[in-house]
């Protein structure tokens, strides 16, 4: 075979292999047909690397449908969290179950207690060996691992031989309105930054039609009652997302878990002020975020920086807010972060902040959803002044960063970064719709085998790390059938 023919064949084989991988990645276990009134009206289907679930009814029904339809995915994700928490926080899963039962559960509204019980009943009906405290621990894992445990260690003055877990840097996001967008209405977009083991499973689209409150369309994780990375819209016109506050320290065990507040705000907020009030009430400090909130009814956008000691809110009817894991308020940075340096241009949050500002200003008056998709896949590193997919690009590829990101506890080449992206605008939100891409928003694939071969220090991830194959940008809307 001559060289071009060999190349051609190699390309064909490559395409075939990636297609096969993609098909197998989305192939779902068929859901057994169970005659149970609690399942009435619910269904699931797969598209573009995502699994769409429609849930409706009372909290018990929504929970049971969730647990039953996603039982294999919930079992798989529980395994991921058990492996990650054991390695990263040196606590076994029993610690999380116990903390979920004693610290989180008493502060969860009865509506969501019933939904969590429903999820446990649903997975049990599929023969999955997880109980209520596993489901509560899963929902609370992020806030327990990276907020409660560091607080516990500091307050008990634990002689901890291990590096302390740290508040993570999760996500890149913007919201724009008025003279910044093409049609003058709101555009909102978000990429989820997570470990690849988590992110390649963060591909559920939840269409929830509850008996009380607003209808919700959001992305999420199997077994979780809130979005987790927090991208969603409701039928009262509220559009939300967030990114975490890097190096945040603070926790209140008597507060309401973040996952419960986030779900309640999504379900019950009819205005920006409602959303902010629900997030603030009983704040436990867990998963402290900068929230981007829009109301398509008014075109107004807002930014909520939710610390425990310091809370700031900004509103705009014309303009934008960007977010990439940096706090804005100097008082919050001083009192509630572990020394976040807002002047260090080599840091991921600050480098992405500069890039967001560049993109917003350069595209004033032109921003729409297709442009938002491009922004989420952007690879410009403003510190190096070059196109380079790494820890500083809006589409994060920490696995390609020799430095890792120490302030988030990520060593060199840690397999973490942008794992999926979503965008919507006011008109799409009016139809309860958004567009989403599974995998890196730029469309690049991640392959676990060569990565693990090159980085044996991450061998411990072998049981949970799989290929992360990018799907196409895919539109979803509430109530759609297969």
Tell me how crowded residue 13 is: count the other CB atoms within 10 A of its CB: 10
d(CA 468, CA 461) in angstroms, rounded, equals 14
Looking at beta carbons only, is 404 or 443 nearer to Zn ion?
443
Looking at beta carbons only, is 278 or 419 nearer to Zn ion?
419
Looking at beta carbons only, is 170 or 264 nearer to Zn ion?
170
Taking the complex as a whole, the smallest distance from the CB of residue 440 to Zn ion amounts, in Å, to 4
Looking at beta carbons only, is 358 or 445 nearer to Zn ion?
445
Taking the complex as a whole, the smallest distance from the CB of residue 381 to Zn ion amounts, in Å, to 12
User: Which ranges in 337-447 belong to alpha helices (H)?
Assistant: 348-362, 369-376, 426-430
**50-57 and 204-210 as β-strands: parallel, antiparallel, unpaired?**
parallel
Distance of CA 266 to the CA centre of its chain: 14
Taking the complex as a whole, the smallest distance from the CB of residue 356 to Zn ion amounts, in Å, to 15
Looking at beta carbons only, is 149 or 394 nearer to Zn ion?
394
Looking at beta carbons only, is 190 or 440 nearer to Zn ion?
440
Taking the complex as a whole, the smallest distance from the CB of residue 424 to Zn ion amounts, in Å, to 21
Total residues at the site for Zn ion (CB under 5 A)? 4
Residues 181 and 423 sit within 8 Å (Cβ to Cβ): no
Looking at beta carbons only, is 437 or 466 nearer to Zn ion?
437
Taking the complex as a whole, the smallest distance from the CB of residue 23 to Zn ion amounts, in Å, to 23
Part of the chain binding Zn ion (CB under 5 A), chosen from 167-175, 181-189, 216-224, 439-447: 439-447
Helix then strand then coil, % of the chain, to nearest 5: 40, 25, 35
Residues 423 and 416 sit within 8 Å (Cβ to Cβ): no
d(CA 151, CA 149) in angstroms, rounded, equals 5
Taking the complex as a whole, the smallest distance from the CB of residue 355 to Zn ion amounts, in Å, to 13
The H or E element containing residue 26 is helix 3-26
**232-234 and 380-381 as β-strands: parallel, antiparallel, unpaired?**
unpaired
Q: Using CB under 5 A, which of 44, 82, 97, 440 touches Zn ion?
A: 440
Looking at beta carbons only, is 71 or 395 nearer to Zn ion?
395
Looking at beta carbons only, is 389 or 432 nearer to Zn ion?
389
Looking at beta carbons only, is 316 or 437 nearer to Zn ion?
437
User: According to CB under 5 A, which residues from 361 to 400 bind Zn ion?
Assistant: 389, 395
d(CA 475, CA 473) in angstroms, rounded, equals 7
User: According to CB under 5 A, which residues from 393 to 432 bind Zn ion?
Assistant: 395
Tell me how crowded residue 280 is: count the other CB atoms within 10 A of its CB: 14
d(CA 458, CA 415) in angstroms, rounded, equals 9
Burial class (CB in 10 A: 0-12, 13-18, 19+), 342: middle
Tell me how crowded residue 178 is: count the other CB atoms within 10 A of its CB: 17
The H or E element containing residue 436 is strand 433-438
Taking the complex as a whole, the smallest distance from the CB of residue 169 to Zn ion amounts, in Å, to 16
Taking the complex as a whole, the smallest distance from the CB of residue 443 to Zn ion amounts, in Å, to 8
d(CA 421, CA 394) in angstroms, rounded, equals 11
Taking the complex as a whole, the smallest distance from the CB of residue 418 to Zn ion amounts, in Å, to 6
Taking the complex as a whole, the smallest distance from the CB of residue 237 to Zn ion amounts, in Å, to 31
Residues 403 and 391 sit within 8 Å (Cβ to Cβ): yes
Q: Using CB under 5 A, which of 53, 149, 442, 448 touches Zn ion?
A: 442
Looking at beta carbons only, is 64 or 408 nearer to Zn ion?
408
Q: Please give the order of strands across the beta sheet that includes 204-210.
A: 43-47, 50-57, 204-210, 216-220, 232-234, 238-244, 289-295, 300-306, 311-316
Taking the complex as a whole, the smallest distance from the CB of residue 366 to Zn ion amounts, in Å, to 22
Contacts with Zn ion, 77-116, as mask; x by CB under 5 A: ----------------------------------------
Part of the chain binding Zn ion (CB under 5 A), chosen from 158-166, 180-188, 433-441, 474-482: 433-441
Using the rule CB under 5 A, is 135 a contact of Zn ion? no
Part of the chain binding Zn ion (CB under 5 A), chosen from 172-180, 188-196, 352-360, 434-442: 434-442
| Residue ranges binding Zn ion (CB under 5 A) | 389, 395, 440, 442
């Amino acid at each position: 075979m001559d060289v071009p023919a060999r190349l051609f064949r190699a390309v064909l084989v490559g395409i075939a292999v990636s297609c096969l991988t993609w098909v197998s990645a989305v192939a779902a276990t068929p859901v057994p047909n169970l005659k149970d009134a609690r399942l009435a009206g619910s269904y699931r289907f797969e598209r573009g690397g995502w699994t769409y679930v429609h849930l409706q009814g009372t909290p018990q029904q929504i929970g049971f449908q969730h647990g039953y339809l996603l039982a294999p995915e919930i079992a798989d994700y529980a395994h991921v969290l058990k492996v990650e928490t054991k390695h990263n926080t040196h606590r076994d899963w029993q610690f999380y179950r116990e903390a979920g039962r004693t610290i989180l559960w008493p502060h969860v509204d009865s509506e969501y207690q019933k939904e969590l019980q429903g999820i446990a009943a649903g997975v049990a009906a599929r023969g999955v060996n997880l109980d209520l405290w596993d489901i509560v621990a899963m929902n609370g894992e992020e806030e327990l691992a990276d907020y409660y445990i560091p607080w516990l260690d500091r307050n008990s003055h634990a002689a901890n031989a291990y590096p302390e877990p740290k508040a993570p840097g999760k996500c890149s996001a913007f919201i724009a309105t008025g003279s910044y967008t093409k049609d003058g209405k709101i555009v909102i977009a978000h990429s989820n930054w997570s470990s690849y083991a988590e992110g390649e499973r963060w591909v559920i689209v939840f269409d929830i039609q509850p008996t009380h409150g607003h209808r919700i369309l959001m992305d999420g994780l199997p077994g979780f009652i809130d979005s987790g990375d927090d991208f969603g819209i409701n039928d009262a016109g509220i559009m939300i997302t967030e990114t975490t506050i890097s190096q945040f320290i603070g926790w209140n065990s008597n507060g309401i878990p973040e996952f419960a507040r986030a779900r309640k705000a999504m379900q019950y907020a009819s205005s920006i002020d409602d959303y902010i009030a629900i997030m603030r009430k009983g704040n436990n400090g867990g998963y402290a975020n900068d929230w981007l909130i829009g109301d398509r009814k008014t075109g107004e956008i807002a930014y909520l920086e939710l610390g425990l000691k310091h809370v700031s809110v900004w509103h705009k009817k014309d303009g934008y807010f960007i977010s990439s894991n940096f706090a804005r308020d100097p008082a919050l940075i001083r009192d509630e972060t572990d020394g976040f340096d807002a002047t260090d241009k080599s840091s991921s949050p600050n480098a992405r902040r500069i890039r967001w500002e560049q993109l917003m200003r350069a595209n004033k008056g032109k921003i729409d959803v297709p442009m938002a998709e491009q922004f989420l896949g952007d690879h410009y590193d403003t510190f190096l002044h070059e196109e380079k997919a790494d820890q500083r690009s809006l589409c994060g590829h920490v696995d390609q960063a020799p430095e890792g990101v120490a302030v988030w506890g990520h060593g060199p080449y840690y397999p973490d970064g942008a794992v999926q992206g979503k965008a919507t605008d006011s008109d799409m939100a009016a139809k309860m719709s958004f567009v989403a891409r599974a995998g890196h928003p730029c469309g690049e694939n991640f392959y676990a085998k060569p990565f693990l071969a090159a980085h044996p220090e991450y061998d411990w991830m072998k049981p949970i790390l799989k290929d992360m194959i990018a799907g196409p940008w895919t539109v979803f809307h509430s109530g759609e059938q297969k």
